């Protein structure tokens, strides 16, 4: 099934081991001292066991500032055609011929951002695909630490007593609620950038300069 993966660039566990060698920040760390990486993946479907990543975008956040100079977007070669998923993400099979190998992408991510806390909107989906991809490429996956901006927004609205309407937690609706610029949907880099903006706005909504990572993680559950 995975014959498309050949010649891993490093012994399969070394990349994961190096990533794990850099510990994530302590839960007591103030958010201003936490490095985040907003991440978005575009997919051929919603099942991490049988579907695949076709593009990835990420945007680092340091000292609560978005580092645009390090933002990145990559197309990823897929062992299957994109099929009807192209209607959503706009990526077509012929474009993926020039994409990166999945394992090269993962190596770049893990080597570039150890110790970072990942950020995603509906993070459970991205983490499922990221974990499965690492298992395919390296034999195992590190335990990723992540903040889910969708869950943070749900907690924020619950605390305000807001009655949630259908689709209220979709990324475009959250951006509008925070008076943030509208972003093109289902483009990995655009969604990662939008997610980074949303996280910063959510943190500021709590108006607590001393807020810790543990407190933010509690809002993300």
User: pTM for this structure?
Assistant: 0.90
CA distance 221 to 128: 16
Report whether 129 contacts 53 (CB < 8 A). yes
Residue-number span of the structural domain to which 84 is assigned? 12-21+29-219
Report whether 57 contacts 73 (CB < 8 A). yes
User: Does a structural domain hold residue 7?
Assistant: no
User: Does a structural domain hold residue 1?
Assistant: no
**In the block, which residue shows the tokens 């979709």?**
170
Query: Which CATH number fits the domain that encloses residue 188?
Result: 3.30.420.10
User: Does a structural domain hold residue 37?
Assistant: yes
Choose among 167, 117, 175: nearest CA to 146.
117
User: Does a structural domain hold residue 95?
Assistant: yes
Question: How far does Cα 112 stand from its chain's mean position?
Answer: 14
User: Does a structural domain hold residue 3?
Assistant: no
User: Does a structural domain hold residue 185?
Assistant: yes
What per-residue confidence (pLDDT) applies to 11? 59
Report whether 75 contacts 56 (CB < 8 A). no
User: Does a structural domain hold residue 45?
Assistant: yes
* Number of domains present in the structure of the chain: 1
What per-residue confidence (pLDDT) applies to 210? 84
Determine the 3-state secondary structure of 56 from DSSP: strand
Per-residue pLDDT of the chain (221 residues; tens, 9 = 90+): 344 444 555 555 799 999 999 999 999 999 999 999 999 999 998 899 999 899 999 999 999 999 999 999 999 998 766 665 644 555 656 577 789 999 999 999 999 999 999 999 999 999 999 999 999 999 999 999 999 999 999 999 999 888 888 899 999 999 999 999 988 777 999 999 999 999 999 999 886 668 999 999 999 99
User: Does a structural domain hold residue 2?
Assistant: no
DSSP H or E stretch at residue 189:
helix 188-205
What per-residue confidence (pLDDT) applies to 162? 86
């Amino acid at each position: 099934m995975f014959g498309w993966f050949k010649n891993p660039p490093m012994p399969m566990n070394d990349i994961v081991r190096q990533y794990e060698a850099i510990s994530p920040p302590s839960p007591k760390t103030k958010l201003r001292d936490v490095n985040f990486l907003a991440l978005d993946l575009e997919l051929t479907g919603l099942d991490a066991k049988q579907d695949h990543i076709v593009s990835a975008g990420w945007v680092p956040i340091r000292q609560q500032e978005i580092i645009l100079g390090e933002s990145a977007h990559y197309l990823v070669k897929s062992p299957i055609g994109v099929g009807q998923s192209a209607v959503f993400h706009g990526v077509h099979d012929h474009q993926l011929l020039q994409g990166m190998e999945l394992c090269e992408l993962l190596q770049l991510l893990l080597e570039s951002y150890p110790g970072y806390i990942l950020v995603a909107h509906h993070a459970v989906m991205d983490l499922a695909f990221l974990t499965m991809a690492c298992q395919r490429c390296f034999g195992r996956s590190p335990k990723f630490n992540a903040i889910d901006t969708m869950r943070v927004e749900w907690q924020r609205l619950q605390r305000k007593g807001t009655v949630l309407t259908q689709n209220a937690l979709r990324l475009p609706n959250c951006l509008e609620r925070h008076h943030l610029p509208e972003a093109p949907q289902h483009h990995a880099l655009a969604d990662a950038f939008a997610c980074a903006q949303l996280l910063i706005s959510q943190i500021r909504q709590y108006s607590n300069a001393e807020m810790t990572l543990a407190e933010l993680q509690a809002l993300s559950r």
